[in-house]
Structure 1
Amino acid sequence: MFWRNYMERIRLWLWLTLANGISSSKISSLLEIFDSIEDIYKAKKTDYEKIPKISAKDADILSNKSLKRAEEVIDECRSKGIRILTMESPYYPENLMHIFDPPYVLYVRCKEKLNLNECICITVVGTRRPTDYGVLVTGELSEELGKEGFTIVSGMARGIDSIALSAALSAGAKVVAVLGCGVDVVYPPENKNLMNAIIENGIVMSEYPPKTPPFKENFPQRNRILSALSMATLITEAPVRSGALITSSSAFEQNREVYAVPGNITSKESRGCNVLIRELGAKAVIDAESIIVDFRDCYADVLRKNKPIIKERTDNKTQFVSYNEKYKDLSEKERLIMMTMSPVPIHIDTIIEKTNLSAEELTSELTMLEIAGMVKSHPGMMFSLNI
């Protein structure tokens, strides 16, 4: 009986959130008048028209009680392994419940259930066009925070977002990608492998139903979820007009901590971070400890519980066989290169130093590995595994 009633309420929540033009803030207005989703659904047009924020057009839309679209979305989610969370679910993130315009429905893809209410999340965002400096500090900070037990949240965009998520995954940490499209849509398309890795080791979530394209207007709206999920937001590199600053603005409004990495004062890509520190009160970050120290004492048990378990290999022969099995079709030089790399981008000079290959040899081999989809290039002659 409970399950049947719960599924019925999910249908009603989908009916409401899928209604054209009925935003989260309008739903909040409805809930101030009506006690439950059932009451909202059963109400008449004249009841809706009495609510100040509900227009005549909205009242007409809400008067359509068809659940057909809701059923279609449920069927779509079932076929694609997408979970639907409402605020009634124990897995719905509590941090989202008390913001001004919470997402009343979340669509989630994950291999194993991850309860974000038992995690300390840090959102890491920044420019889509990072410099070498931005790539380096984002990778290092995300990896170190992940190793300490923080769950890394980001948006899976090109640049800083993807680097942060990849670095955290390489540390064995849990990660969350919040999308501005449906969770069955890979955007940008080159992040297909990254998205699959996140589904295996964390959560891909969105407030938008399956098949929703990455419309430009979705991303500023999505940013409030990015900041609200976490105890703090870290901006590692961003110009003054970066979308990352919208996320930081949301974080300030939601009374979350905001951190920023200071950058070269002549660099446009760091201008946004420097302004956040100088004018808006963001805390300057010079290393991961700058953040960890603010959470270690209060959340020691939670962080300890979520620390990745690093399994040390004592049998080198087993490790070599396992490695060769994974890359059995590669040449010796290609295997050597792959052994030096991780999802965190590193500079080509570092790879040369580790492999003792000439620049000409390495460039040729990296080109072939990139064509094969095993290696990914980044601005500034940086390369990473294409997980």
Structure 2
Amino acid sequence: MAVERGYWLAWSQISGIGPVFLQRLQQHFGTLQAAWEASPAQLEAVEGFGFQTLQKVVQQRSRLHPEQLLIQHQEQNPNFWTPADPEYPRLLLEIPSPPPLLYFRGEVELLENLGETPLVAMVGTRQPSEYGIRWTRQISTALAKNGFTVVSGLAEGIDTESHAAALKAGGRTIAVLGTGIDVIYPAKNQQLYKQILTAGLVLSEYPSKTPPDRTQFPRRNRIIAGLSRAVLVIEAPLKSGALITANYANEFGRDVYVLPGRVDDYPSQGCLKLLSQGAAPILRELDELLRMLGAIPKIDSVSVSLEPQQLILPDLPPELQQVINVMSSESLPFDMIIQKTGMAASAVSSALLQLELMGLVSQKPGMRYKRK
């Protein structure tokens, strides 16, 4: 795997080869080293590999030496993960376009990367109302105090408020940047950035010193959605970047929750649109939201085992047994079932449907499932 790091880096330097194409190459050849060493004829067999792309690869590949490139790159960017690294966030590997390089600064918490600590994104407008600020602080505080890590984008407004409230509550937060890992944008968030480094993590797919560019922030939003089990949209007008994050969340099978607003409020128009498309509303009782997100109630002086009972049904095919064994009477998000079983998303979906038809599993709102 250590050797593969250099090849993820080298492939990412070739123009016209993006994250989706890299996934395709890795799946086709098994490793990116094998793809790098493949002949033009072998590369042409990969879906979508046209003549122009092939020319770019042949020309640029001859000038790059992966091992040497890795050594040079690490001098400027010592901390980064590739999908070949065991520390790479597991949930990001589920999306169609995981960043080939994910730079990080701050305090790494491996339980977050392994998916054991639940990550929840909070996004919204850069110009929130007093109502939006108040609810952002309340929700972010509740999440932090209940063991969730709050994910956002360090932008002005809702992002800033969610990061700050999580830290104030003594929790962790992750900021995903649309700039280089060392470029703070907006500049007014320098102090917040420093605080996050001491009690959280800063992530970016862009190398150090990359300045802000308007095209980079929508791409950044897919990482926010991909890292998180759920995305909470607090206030968002119709053209808000928060809606891009919500759309990615829907595409990736994540839950989307929305803070309702008045029908004549400009900052709430995007939220109302999401509600009309099936997003779940965030209501006054935050306990219900926390329960839906999988928060474990704290019971004084009682030890609660969260391991599901092994329900053995001899007539079940192995793949159905594998799925039902990770389930309990508490509802689980679809992505968590995938993670616990280690099965492909399509296989889990098929198994859940069969178990539901057999009356053994029931589906709840937000693509959550529980054993009957």
TM-score class, shorter-chain normalisation, is 0.7 to 0.9
Q: Write the letter of the residue equivalent to 1:72.
A: Q
Residue 24 of structure 1 contacts residue 101 of structure 1 at CA under 8 Å; is this kept in 2? yes
**Does residue 1:115 correspond to 2:111, yes or no?**
yes
Residues 113 and 76 of structure 1: CA distance in aligned 2, closer, same or farther (over 3 Å): farther
Displacement of 1:270: 1.1
1:127 alignment partner in structure 2: 125
2:74 alignment partner in structure 1: 74
CA distance in structure 2 between the partners assigned to 1:234 and 1:211 by the alignment:
30
1:215 alignment partner in structure 2: 213
1:367 alignment partner in structure 2: none
Residue 255 of structure 1: which of 248, 253, 256 is its match?
Answer: 253
2:354 alignment partner in structure 1: none
SS, match of residue 122 in structure 1: strand
**Does residue 1:48 correspond to 2:46, yes or no?**
no
| Residues 180-224 of structure 1, C-alpha deviations (whole Å, 9 max, x = no match) | 121111111111111111111111111122222222111111111
Residues 21 and 115 of structure 1: CA distance in aligned 2, closer, same or farther (over 3 Å): farther
Paired residue total? 294
Residue 84 of structure 1 contacts residue 108 of structure 1 at CA under 8 Å; is this kept in 2? yes
2:84 alignment partner in structure 1: 88
Unaligned runs of 5+ in 1: 305-387
Residues 278 and 123 of structure 1: CA distance in aligned 2, closer, same or farther (over 3 Å): same
Which is higher, the Rg of structure 1 or of structure 2?
1
CA distance in structure 2 between the partners assigned to 1:134 and 1:295 by the alignment:
20
SS, match of residue 94 in structure 2: coil
CA distance in structure 1 between the partners assigned to 2:45 and 2:297 by the alignment:
46
CA distance in structure 2 between the partners assigned to 1:284 and 1:297 by the alignment:
15
1:20 alignment partner in structure 2: 15
CA distance in structure 2 between the partners assigned to 1:44 and 1:286 by the alignment:
60
Residue 145 of structure 1 contacts residue 288 of structure 1 at CA under 8 Å; is this kept in 2? no
| Residues 145-193 of structure 1, C-alpha deviations (whole Å, 9 max, x = no match) | 1111110000111111011001101111111111112111111111111
CA distance in structure 1 between the partners assigned to 2:297 and 2:255 by the alignment:
15
CA distance in structure 2 between the partners assigned to 1:114 and 1:36 by the alignment:
24
Residues 122 and 297 of structure 1: CA distance in aligned 2, closer, same or farther (over 3 Å): closer
Normalization by structure 1: what TM-score?
0.71
CA distance in structure 1 between the partners assigned to 2:108 and 2:278 by the alignment:
39
Q: Write the letter of the residue equivalent to 1:186.
A: I
Residue 258 of structure 2 contacts residue 279 of structure 2 at CA under 8 Å; is this kept in 1? no
| Residues 287-311 of structure 1, C-alpha deviations (whole Å, 9 max, x = no match) | 432320113467989xx9xxxxxxx
2:274 alignment partner in structure 1: 276
| Residues 257-307 of structure 1, C-alpha deviations (whole Å, 9 max, x = no match) | 110111122210011112212333333332432320113467989xx9xxx
Residue 112 of structure 1 contacts residue 200 of structure 1 at CA under 8 Å; is this kept in 2? no
2:57 alignment partner in structure 1: 62
Residue 153 of structure 1 contacts residue 177 of structure 1 at CA under 8 Å; is this kept in 2? yes
Larger RCO (alpha carbons 8 Å, 6+ apart): 1
2:222 alignment partner in structure 1: 224
Residue 262 of structure 1 contacts residue 274 of structure 1 at CA under 8 Å; is this kept in 2? yes
Normalization by structure 2: what TM-score?
0.74
Residue 29 of structure 1 contacts residue 53 of structure 1 at CA under 8 Å; is this kept in 2? no
Q: Write the letter of the residue equivalent to 2:14.
A: A
CA distance in structure 1 between the partners assigned to 2:26 and 2:297 by the alignment:
33
CA distance in structure 1 between the partners assigned to 2:46 and 2:224 by the alignment:
30
Report 1:358-377 matches (<5 A).
Answer: none
SS, match of residue 115 in structure 1: helix
* % identical aligned pairs: 34
Q: Write the letter of the residue equivalent to 1:77.
A: N
CA distance in structure 2 between the partners assigned to 1:185 and 1:239 by the alignment:
27
1:199 alignment partner in structure 2: 197
Unaligned runs of 5+ in 2: 303-372
CA distance in structure 1 between the partners assigned to 2:254 and 2:293 by the alignment:
13
Residue 166 of structure 2 contacts residue 173 of structure 2 at CA under 8 Å; is this kept in 1? yes
Residues 205 and 297 of structure 1: CA distance in aligned 2, closer, same or farther (over 3 Å): closer
Residues 232 and 249 of structure 1: CA distance in aligned 2, closer, same or farther (over 3 Å): same
2:184 alignment partner in structure 1: 186
CA distance in structure 2 between the partners assigned to 1:271 and 1:286 by the alignment:
20
Out of 269-278 and 60-69, give the one that drifted further: 60-69
Q: Write the letter of the residue equivalent to 1:106.
A: L
